[in-house]
Amino acid sequence: MRAEDAGSRASGGTAELLLELRGVTKSFPNGTVALNGLDLAVGRHEFLCVLGPSGCGKSTALRLIAGLAGASDGQLAWPNGGSAGDIGFVFQEPTLMPWATVFDNVHLPLRLQGRGRRRAEDVVMQALALVGLADFAGAYPRELSGGMKMRVSIARALVTRPRLLLMDEPFAAVDEITRIRLNHDLLDLWRGQGWTVVFVTHSVYEAVFLAARVVVMSARPGRIVAELEIGEPYPRDDTFRLSESYLRYCGRASAALQQATETG
Amino acid sequence: MARRRPERFLRWAMPLGLILVVLALWELGVRWNDTPHYILPGPILVAQTLVADWHTLYPSLLVTLRVTASALAVAVIGGVGLAVLFTLSRMVELSLFPFAVILQVTPIIAIAPLILIYVENTHLALLICAWIVAFFPILSNTTLGLNSADHNLVDLFRLYGASRWQMLRFLRLPAAMPYFLGGLRIAGGLALIGAIVAEFAAGTAGTGSGLAYRILEASYRLNIPRMFAALFLISVAGILIFLALTLLSHLLLRKWHESAARRDG
Ligand SMILES: Nc1ncnc2c1ncn2[C@@H]1O[C@H](COP(=O)(O)OP(=O)(O)O)[C@@H](O)[C@H]1O
Ligand SMILES: [Mg+2]
């Protein structure tokens, strides 16, 4: 019952469910309870933003979904098949290997799956072209700007053509102009590639601009305390950013975040 | 640009000039005071001795360098190998690390005579002594480096199901490279010191004929200029080892590591 409910909320009632977390709790050996009873359903092809105060367990939730950590309690289900093997992850920092070129960094996931340089070349160059960095294949990370490094990191996440893209505050460290451009690029990519995206952020404005649905987490221990549909159709561009409805959504999300932070 | 040129020139000129001044003062001091050779020879006499005794000093230099180089090579293989083993198995690390520390903290000059007694082959004994001192910085630095790979990168490798071998080959070893090279530079100097100390311990009784042996021999004969000439060669060898390893480090890291990459390049 619940699953159907959440799935239909995900996008207009027709989408299948990709992933569901039920009553997920995570406590660390040192006694910190990061998540407590987290319920979250993610629909296929959905763009979901997770909004929450710093330290509320957002990264922990993503790591659980990615299979990098186990839940202490509760369930994580992939109702229609699929698994952690099908996931791309973008961290808050670009997290590139400084000793490897842009090409080799993007090649990494394929190389780990046993696909050599030559056999992977086309796919890697395609991924780089998607993020507009085809000319920088031979550069080293230290030669790139912060925004470009982030693009490399995104190219690496999508080179395996994952079904689910997990992004953990990916643009928190880049400047405002770059962030806006990366937001646009990301939406374009998402619409073109048919991914599901779970995007963690602490910025209300970013969440409202990107997401079809925004969920708000409480302060630690984290759980979902509010949910907000952003009814604006895609493609979205700067006119949405300047529209009154954008500001209204931001106001509502802001209020929800405020309340979540205070009540805990 | 205009300001960088003289700066670069000064970087070489200042220390070189200072060395020349010190040598000149030394020579003048010796001449003015009529200091006898067997107390303090002037630098010119030392240089003359170096040329005159080259036929005995040069082979000795080669002997010492060979011991140093082989000890360093074994230290690299052993140090890196053991460091890798440590990261693969915590149990191995816990059981073996204390031995490495014991070897490290015991002064080599105190163990060298024992090693020289137990190991028949003097050359091998010297090598072991030099190895003991060179080994630890490589082991500890490489272990630190292998464990200092970015946590998010480790997660990324796990996300893509990397095997232990892949994690080592593509992540931990490259991440450890700057640390290893730092350890190697220290170890290079230590290997030379270890070799010299062991040669002293072996003394004239040994069959060794390295530079330390030449110093001992010359001191028994009160041939002070030759002692200085041998000492000079040891210093030069140490400096050359350091420069060679610094160059190696620069070549391996210049593309990506902050320590070697040029900011304005
Ligand atoms: N490995 C860990 N051990 C102990 N506590 C942790 C660990 N990882 C995270 N935490 C704690 O769990 C809480 C949630 O962390 P995190 O998921 O990183 O928050 P967010 O990403 O929302 O800022 C924080 O209070 C953090 O200190
Ligand atoms: Mg976080």
Give tens-digit pLDDT for B198-228.
Answer: 998 887 655 568 999 999 989 999 999 999 9
Band (pLDDT 50/70/90 cuts) for residue B265 is very low
Looking at the complex, does the CB of residue A43 fall below 8 Å from at least one CB of chain B?
no
Closest atom, ligand 1, to C-alpha of A54: 23
Confirm whether the ipTM is greater than 0.85.
Answer: yes
Mean pLDDT of chain B: 90
Residue B141 has pLDDT above 70, yes or no: yes
What is the Cβ-side half-sphere exposure of residue A26, based on CA atoms within 13 angstroms?
Answer: 25
Who contacts B35 (Cβ-Cβ below 8 Å, separation ≥6)?
Answer: B29
Q: What does the block give as tokens for B83?
A: 């460091």
Band (pLDDT 50/70/90 cuts) for residue A175 is confident
pLDDT of residue A85: 59
Cα A114 to chain centroid, rounded:
26
Residue B28 lies in a domain: no
Residue A8 has pLDDT above 80, yes or no: no
Q: How far apart are the C-alpha atoms of B139 and A82, rounded to whole Å?
A: 43
Q: Give the domain range for residue B121.
A: 52-264
Query: B225: closest CA among B95, B75, B62, B57?
Result: B57
- A241 CA to chain B: closest CA distance, Å? 33
Q: Give residue ranges with CB within 6 A of ligand 1.
A: A 28, 30, 32, 34, 52, 54-60, 220
Q: How far is the CA of A61 from the centre of ligand 1 (A)?
A: 10
- A88 CA to chain B: closest CA distance, Å? 8
What total of structural domains would you count in chain B?
1
Specify the DSSP class assigned to residue A222: B
Residue B8 lies in a domain: no
- The domains located in chain A, with CATH, are 1-82+200-264 (3.40.50.300)
Looking at beta carbons, which residues of chain B come within 8 Å of A112? 157, 160-162, 166, 170
**Look-up of token digits 């300001």:** B3
Distances (CA, A) of B215 to A146, A234, B218: 58, 84, 5
Residue B250 lies in a domain: yes
Residue A84 has pLDDT above 60, yes or no: no
Q: What is the CATH number of the domain that holds B60?
A: 1.10.3720.10
Residue A12 has pLDDT above 50, yes or no: no
pLDDT of residue A86: 83
pLDDT of residue A264: 52
Q: For chain A, what is the largest distance between any 2 Cα atoms, rounded to a whole number of angstroms?
A: 55
Residue B254 lies in a domain: yes
Q: How far is the CA of A59 from the centre of ligand 1 (A)?
A: 7
Residue B48 has pLDDT above 60, yes or no: yes
Looking at beta carbons, which residues of chain B come within 8 Å of A68? 155, 158-159
pLDDT in tens, A129-171: 988 999 999 999 999 999 999 999 999 999 998 889 999 999 9
Residue B121 has pLDDT above 90, yes or no: no
- B200 CA to chain A: closest CA distance, Å? 43
pLDDT in tens, B147-200: 999 999 999 999 999 999 999 999 999 999 999 999 999 999 999 999 999 998
Band (pLDDT 50/70/90 cuts) for residue A5 is very low
Looking at the complex, does the CB of residue A100 fall below 8 Å from at least one CB of chain B?
yes
| Relative orientation angle of helices B173-202 and B54-88, to the nearest 10 degrees | 140
- Judged by CB atoms closer than 8 Å, whether chains meet at A99 and B166 is answered as no
Q: How far is the CA of A22 from the centre of ligand 1 (A)?
A: 20
